[in-house]
Structure 1
Amino acid sequence: MSSSHSVWRGLVATVGLVLTAEGLYYLFRYLKWVREQQPRVLFFPAPVTCVRPLLLASPGRCDCPLPHRESALSRMARLLLSARRSIDVCVFTISSLDLSGSVLVAYERGVRVRVITDSDYMALASSQVGTFRKAGIEVRHDQDTNYMHHKFALIDGSILITGSLNWSAQAIFRNKENVIIIKDADIVKAFTEEFERLWNEYDPTKYSFSPQSS
């Protein structure tokens, strides 16, 4: 066999190996993407754990007596803290210091935050709505006797957090609750449209403070 044939065969073999390696690379990337698109489910009540180190700019050791281990609460807090552009919260009642603290940390980092909640429950002493507003976060609410009973949040317009969970200590640590984390574009789009619809409907310039009697 001539040397030119040997070189040619070697070149073909090399190209084949390169294409195979590249094909495997893109296959692994695709499989990883598919896996990441699968919904994840969190169940509550969560064990009482400390998530404070997650909220610190320079995480260090926390000496509180609570366990420091992964839980449904810490996973949800991590997800909120992962936001890079936006967090849209549409939740009936918001009193959890851990979840509201995660939103505040993201907001202080420059993430755009908008909050929709229920007018009755935002007036409770434990509500964190006042804390949000003091920080500069815009909060809108309903203005009728029906509950704004949604419980969902959108992260960067691409991740949906929804389920039965109110953002309260009672729901997180005592109730039987569920949260599902979804990246499906069609489902995220539907919830995004609902958020924008309510955001427009609850525009304070549209409030009627002196409703006419019928």
Structure 2
Amino acid sequence: MLLSLGIGIITVLFAPDTIYAETEVLFSPRGSIKDAIIKNIISSRDSIDVTAATFTAGDIAEALYQAKEHGVAIRIIIDQAQDVILYPVIEFLKEEGFNLQFLKGNIGGSMNNTFAIFDDKLLVTGSYTWTEYAEKFNYENAIFIDEPDVVERYKREFESLYDKSVVQGASRVRVVATSNEVKEPAKQDSVSNAKEKSGKNNTLKDNVIKFVSRKDIEHLNISEDKQLNKVGKRLKTIEEPFKQFVTISFDELDKKFGSESKLDKSEKRRLWKEEYEGKYVRWTGRISFRGFAVYDWNKVGISHKGSSIDVNLRFGYSKQRKVMKLKVGDIVTYTGRLVSLRSSLSSYRVEDADVLQVIR
């Protein structure tokens, strides 16, 4: 009895101080890893430190943006190879002023870490990369742990990597939005100096969206199309000579070719090819879908009637910054080239799309 009591006392006296916390282990595909990451991003109050070998998950980027807007200090280290590829998420992080650093491995190697530390208290690490492929298609794992010693070791590693990392693209020209146009700062060379002396300004209208608050128009008892036209009188659509626009609303077009049409298939095809195919339209609708991944960032679904997608938009790479700012539920005025009719399995398709105005 005394012997067992003595052993018990010794065990208590020499037990380690650290109490290991419970860990949470998740797997993909479709194992809610991304949801858990976003949940911890949103619940962070002070800081988030991230290393990512590859980062193409747009909804995680949006969660980081929301955290940043609420005052959370965010540092991100990404493999340097990602800076030379025009991934929309990377461009979005740069555009929104994130503390974004790039790092390469030793002797041509890679920065292949993927882990994040939330408020210096919780760590997530594992094979799971911050991509749509990892979430939907790959077999991956992620472990969430709040054991202080482990978190501290990863924290020290992050600081070491951060000290080695660099800001890439610092010499690139920054685009500054003013009013409804974007001015490009003059480069220090003889050509730009000559333009300055001649009083000419270089303006880039390609990535400009006019944002309008819903409260600015909610008192107007008119349709969304007319609301946008009324609010945006000063916003003029630049219709280049090679873009041939047709003046027809979505409802009018859909009456000719949609389920209410009285034309047979051959009549629809003939009318479409003769009058509408390849022509540009200017319509207003509500975003019901927006792609986030590297392979579908340029796809936006527009609803004109109810909640179903009536028009599928496709954007070119020059519009990626603009597209990354759009959200589901936004009311947008857009232009684009009519490519294909809707069918029982697909919507109208519009390519070479551009967004002129957004109501949020």
TM bucket, shorter chain: 0.5 to 0.7
Residue of structure 2 in register with 1:137 after alignment: 98
Residue of structure 2 in register with 1:95 after alignment: 56
Give 1:46's aligned amino acid: R
In 2, Cα distance between equivalents of 1:94 and 1:122: 11
Q: What whole-Å deviation, never above 9, does each CA across 1:23-70 have from its counterpart, x for those lacking one?
A: xxxxxxxxxxxx9931101111117xxxxxxxxxxxxxxxxxxxxxxx
Secondary structure of the equivalent of 2:37?
helix
Secondary structure of the equivalent of 1:195?
helix
Give 1:118's aligned amino acid: D
Give 1:38's aligned amino acid: E
In 2, Cα distance between equivalents of 1:40 and 1:143: 30
1:164–1:127 CA distance, 2 compared to 1 (3 A): farther
Q: What whole-Å deviation, never above 9, does each CA across 1:158-200 have from its counterpart, x for those lacking one?
A: 1101000111111111000001001000100010000000111
In 1, Cα distance between equivalents of 2:24 and 2:130: 18
Q: What whole-Å deviation, never above 9, does each CA across 1:106-160 have from its counterpart, x for those lacking one?
A: 1111100000010112433335122112111111112452110001000001110
Among residues 45, 59, 63, which one is paired with 2:29 in the alignment? Answer: 45
Residue of structure 2 in register with 1:86 after alignment: 47
Instruction: Please provide the CA RMSD for this pair.
Output: 2.4
Q: Does 1:111 align with 2:95?
A: no
Aligned length: 150
Q: Which has the higher helix share?
A: 1
Residue of structure 2 in register with 1:177 after alignment: 140
1:103 Cα deviation after fit: 1.1
- Map of 1:50-69 to 2, 5 A cutoff? none
In 2, Cα distance between equivalents of 1:36 and 1:139: 33
Q: TM-score, normalised by structure 1?
A: 0.65
1:127–1:121 CA distance, 2 compared to 1 (3 A): farther
In 1, Cα distance between equivalents of 2:167 and 2:58: 26
1:36–1:96 CA distance, 2 compared to 1 (3 A): farther
Q: Does 1:154 align with 2:122?
A: no
1:89–1:110 CA distance, 2 compared to 1 (3 A): same
% identical equivalent positions: 28
In 2, Cα distance between equivalents of 1:171 and 1:156: 25
Secondary structure of the equivalent of 1:94?
coil
Residue of structure 2 in register with 1:30 after alignment: none
Which of structures 1 and 2 has the bigger CA Rg? Answer: 2
Give 1:155's aligned amino acid: F
Runs ≥4 residues deviating over 2 A: 121-127
In 2, Cα distance between equivalents of 1:143 and 1:162: 19
Cα contact 1:93–1:122 (8 A) shared by 2 = no
In 2, Cα distance between equivalents of 1:114 and 1:156: 12
Residue of structure 1 in register with 2:85 after alignment: 124
Among residues 174, 196, 203, which one is paired with 2:159 in the alignment? Answer: 196
Structure 1 unmatched ranges of 5 or more: 1-34, 48-70, 206-214
Secondary structure of the equivalent of 2:152?
helix
In 2, Cα distance between equivalents of 1:86 and 1:151: 17
In 2, Cα distance between equivalents of 1:121 and 1:202: 13
Secondary structure of the equivalent of 1:104?
helix
In 2, Cα distance between equivalents of 1:36 and 1:191: 16
In 2, Cα distance between equivalents of 1:196 and 1:72: 25
Give 1:111's aligned amino acid: V
1:122–1:38 CA distance, 2 compared to 1 (3 A): farther
Cα contact 2:29–2:136 (8 A) shared by 1 = yes
Q: Which has the higher strand share?
A: 2
Structure 2 unmatched ranges of 5 or more: 1-18, 169-360
In 2, Cα distance between equivalents of 1:88 and 1:122: 19
